[in-house]
Amino acid sequence: MKEIDALLRDKVRMLGNALGHTIRNDLGETTLEQIETIRKQAKKARAGDAAERDKLLALLKGLSDDNLVPVVRGFNQFLNLANLAEQQHDISWRKESIDADQADTMFRDLIPRLAEAGISGTELTEKVASANVELVLTAHPTEVTRRTLIQKYDEVSHLLQARDDLRDEHPTLPAIEEKIARLIDEIWHTDEIRKVRPTAVDEAKWGFAVIENSLWYAIPAMLRSMNQDLISHDAPPLALDAVPIRFSSWMGGDRDGNPNVTSTVTEEVLYLARWMAADLYLRDIEVLGSQLSMYAATSEFKEKYPGHEPYRDCLHGLRTRLEQTREWAQANARGQHCEIEPLLDDEELIAPLQACYDSLVGCGMQSIADGELQDTLRRAACFGLPLVRLDVRQESTRHSAVLSELCEFYGWGNYLEWSEDKKQEFLLKELASQRPLIPEFWEPSEEVAEVLATTRVLAQPIGQGVTCYIISMASEPSDILSVALLLQASGVRHKLPVVPLFETLSDLEQSGPRMEKLWQVPWYRDYSGSRQQVMIGYSDSSKDAGQLAAVWAQYQAQETLSRVAREQGYTLRLFHGRGGTVGRGGGPAQRAILAQPPGSVSGGLRVTEQGEMIRFKFGLPEIAERNLKVYISAVLEANLLPPTAPNKEWRDTMSELASSGVTSYRAMVRENPDFVSYFRAATPEQELGKLSLGSRPARRRSGGGIETLRAIPWIFAWTQIRLMLPAWLGADTALSDQIDRGKLATLRTMYSEWPFFRTYIDMLEMVLSKADGEVAGYYEALLVEPDMQPLGHVLRERLKNVTARVLQVKEQSELLEDNHALQQSIQVRDPYTDPLHYLQAELLFRERQSADVISTEVEKALMVTMAGIAAGMRNTG
pLDDT (tens digit, 9 = 90+) per residue, 742-800? 999 999 999 999 999 999 999 999 999 999 999 999 999 999 999 999 999 999 999 99
Range with lowest mean pLDDT among 607-611, 652-656, 698-702: 698-702
User: Residues 399, 474: contact at Cβ < 8 Å?
Assistant: no
How far out from the chain centre does Cα 460 lie? 29
pLDDT score recorded for residue 616? 81
pLDDT score recorded for residue 300? 95
Q: How confident is the model at residue 706 (pLDDT cuts 50, 70, 90)?
A: low
Angstrom distance (rounded) from CA 274 to CA 280: 10
DSSP annotation of 384 = T
Polymer length in residues for the chain = 877
Mean pLDDT of 494-519: 94
Q: How confident is the model at residue 860 (pLDDT cuts 50, 70, 90)?
A: confident
Q: How confident is the model at residue 154 (pLDDT cuts 50, 70, 90)?
A: confident
**What amino acid is encoded at 190 in this protein?**
T
CA distances from 96 to 6, 90, 862 (A): 8, 10, 38
Range with lowest mean pLDDT among 62-71, 386-395, 480-489: 62-71
Helices (H), strands (E): how many in the chain?
38, 8
pLDDT in tens, 635-675: 999 999 998 899 999 999 999 999 999 999 999 999 999 99
**What amino acid is encoded at 406 in this protein?**
L
Specify the pTM: 0.91
Inform me whether the pLDDT recorded for 707 exceeds 70.
no
Q: How confident is the model at residue 697 (pLDDT cuts 50, 70, 90)?
A: low
pLDDT score recorded for residue 94? 67
DSSP annotation string for 500-540: EEE-SHHHHHHHHHHHHHHHT-HHHHHHHTTEEEEEEESHH
CA distances from 341 to 327, 338, 380 (A): 10, 8, 20
Burial-class residue 854 by CB neighbours within 10 Å (0-12, 13-18, 19+). Answer: middle
The answer to whether residue 837 is catalytic is: no
CA distances from 518 to 498, 593, 797 (A): 12, 27, 47
The answer to whether residue 140 is catalytic is: yes
pLDDT score recorded for residue 576? 92
User: What's phi and psi for 533, nearest 5 deg?
Assistant: -110, 135
User: Residues 85, 11: contact at Cβ < 8 Å?
Assistant: yes
Q: Which residues pair with 606 in a beta bridge?
A: 134, 575
Angstrom distance (rounded) from CA 59 to CA 67: 12
Inform me whether the pLDDT recorded for 98 exceeds 60.
no
Range with lowest mean pLDDT among 5-14, 68-77, 782-791: 5-14
Inform me whether the pLDDT recorded for 542 exceeds 90.
no
Angstrom distance (rounded) from CA 282 to CA 135: 25
3-state secondary structure of 602: coil
What angle (nearest 5°) sits at the alpha carbon of residue 768, between those of residues 762 and 771? 155
How far out from the chain centre does Cα 665 lie? 26
pLDDT score recorded for residue 96? 56
Q: How confident is the model at residue 703 (pLDDT cuts 50, 70, 90)?
A: low
Contacts of 782 (CB under 8 A, 6+ apart): 841, 842, 844, 845
646: alpha, beta or left? (left if phi > 0; alpha if psi -120 to 50): beta
| Average pLDDT of every residue of the chain | 90
**What amino acid is encoded at 736 in this protein?**
S
User: Residues 180, 159: contact at Cβ < 8 Å?
Assistant: yes
The fraction of the chain above a pLDDT of 70, given in percent, is 93
User: Residues 800, 768: contact at Cβ < 8 Å?
Assistant: no
How far out from the chain centre does Cα 335 lie? 31
User: Residues 872, 108: contact at Cβ < 8 Å?
Assistant: no
pLDDT score recorded for residue 141? 45
- In 264-337, DSSP assigns E strands to none
The helix or strand, by DSSP H or E, that contains position 29, with its residue range, turns out to be: helix 29-45
User: What's phi and psi for 604, nearest 5 deg?
Assistant: 100, 180
Contacts of 8 (CB under 8 A, 6+ apart): 85, 86, 89, 95
Mean pLDDT of 346-368: 98
Mean pLDDT of 738-745: 98
pLDDT score recorded for residue 820? 81
Q: How confident is the model at residue 82 (pLDDT cuts 50, 70, 90)?
A: confident
DSSP annotation of 198 = P
- In 334-400, DSSP assigns E strands to 389-395
pLDDT score recorded for residue 846? 85
pLDDT score recorded for residue 83? 85
pLDDT score recorded for residue 586? 43
Q: How confident is the model at residue 100 (pLDDT cuts 50, 70, 90)?
A: very low
Number of other residues whose CB lies within 10 A of the CB of residue 846: 17
DSSP annotation string for 154-171: HHHHHHHHHHHHS-TT-T
Inform me whether the pLDDT recorded for 95 exceeds 70.
no
**Which of 89, 127, 423, 543 does the annotation list as catalytic?**
543
Inform me whether the pLDDT recorded for 804 exceeds 60.
yes
User: Residues 276, 419: contact at Cβ < 8 Å?
Assistant: no
Q: Which residues pair with 699 in a beta bridge?
A: 709
Angstrom distance (rounded) from CA 834 to CA 832: 6
Angstrom distance (rounded) from CA 630 to CA 635: 9
Inform me whether the pLDDT recorded for 142 exceeds 50.
no
